[in-house]
Copies of this chain bind each other. A is one copy, B any other.
């Protein structure tokens, strides 16, 4: 039987689950994957007390990266600095790499893959996107015969949980976040989830695979779910949508745009039905249409499942890179993709105000597909202004931004104008 000797750095939630799976149920991988995976060494800064198994544990993580007897270095400590240093040393020592570190791949992927190529080793990173759902395998291998046109994904479990709670239980953002934290679904500092960074990093990794773009996270435009109010969710419901945080990547004439924003998703789309902390990725290819991959996007066991799948793949030769990759597509910051939009404005409660707002849309050559002006309640906090919601025709981000500014400049409109994309899948 094939065997694989691995060194694992990091024994937190994910590292712990990898050790648990391989120690307690090694027969599954032997039977399904035909490989005996041996944990040769474990790097744990807290030492042996952090590892409840009879394994060789060292506190100096670099010792694992430099261990000459391992075949694969498994990096599960997270963060960019030390993780990068360890991986570079392991690559330099001729080791294959498996990592769950999306921040590292999204930021330093090009550098690391170049180094890996020089040393004729490979890097597995299935666990970096969508946890236990094998989306990288689907993209790279399952859809190998197709050109991807676009993808749209719910890639952050924490924010999907919060939006689902706000939608289903009418929770406030703060209560939903607190519940996510109590359930261990959100970090103590949830900034990277809430502001969209995490989803944007994952989208940039998917873009590199789908469109052959550099791993360059700086080109991703993104926004967070902190912009979404219970009022927006109620309007979305009324109009037949869910609000989801959707990461997009799209290819248009050799230009690729990657972005991640809260987005209205029509109720009849599968993505709108993705609840709880689940992830889902829709991949559209011209020739075959959409395929969708749904599952647990995070959590120790799903992530460990992806790490171990990478190890089995490596024992079978891994993912040989094409030597004839076509020229890279160009990442551009300005998204040329057109979306219908949700606009939410507070309009002066006087005759002719709505007409003036409508005229502005007409002047900008933007159609109004739907308009909601609910009856004012007596206890309205600002009775001089009424909330108005408009679903517009299709606009690029730039066009939408200009329209938003022009609306905000009108004397008939109070305060900021809010604007979200509407998912228009085929």
Q: Cβ of A288 < 8 Å from any Cβ of B?
A: yes
Given the complex, which residues of B lie within 8 Å of A301, measured CB to CB? 287-288
- Pick the contact of A29: B145, B293, B313, B323 (CB < 8 A): B145
Total residues of chain A contacting the partner, CB 8 A: 63
| Stretch of A136-144, A249-257, A355-363, A412-420 on the interface side | A136-144
Q: Cβ of A291 < 8 Å from any Cβ of B?
A: yes
Q: Cβ of A273 < 8 Å from any Cβ of B?
A: yes
Are A142 and B137 in contact (CB-based, < 8 A)?
yes
Which residues of A (141-176) have their CB < 8 Å from a CB of B?
141-147
Are B296 and A288 in contact (CB-based, < 8 A)?
yes
Number of copies: 2
Are B134 and A141 in contact (CB-based, < 8 A)?
yes
Nearest CB in chain B: distance from A89 CB, A = 27
Complex CA–CA separation, A407 to B1 (angstroms): 57
The digit string for A318-333, where 1 denotes a CB below 8 A from any CB of B, is 0011111110000000
Instruction: Knowing A142-B134, A305-B287, A312-B141 are in contact, say whether A34-B293 is a contact too (CB < 8 A).
Output: no
Are B296 and A293 in contact (CB-based, < 8 A)?
no
Given the complex, which residues of B lie within 8 Å of A289, measured CB to CB? 132, 295-296, 302
Given the complex, which residues of B lie within 8 Å of A35, measured CB to CB? 322
Given the complex, which residues of B lie within 8 Å of A21, measured CB to CB? 145, 287
- Pick the contact of A305: B32, B146, B274 (CB < 8 A): B146
- Please give 7 more A-B residue pairs, beta carbons under 8 A apart, in addition to A33-B322, A137-B142: A28-B146, A29-B144, A29-B145, A134-B137, A270-B274, A288-B296, A291-B296
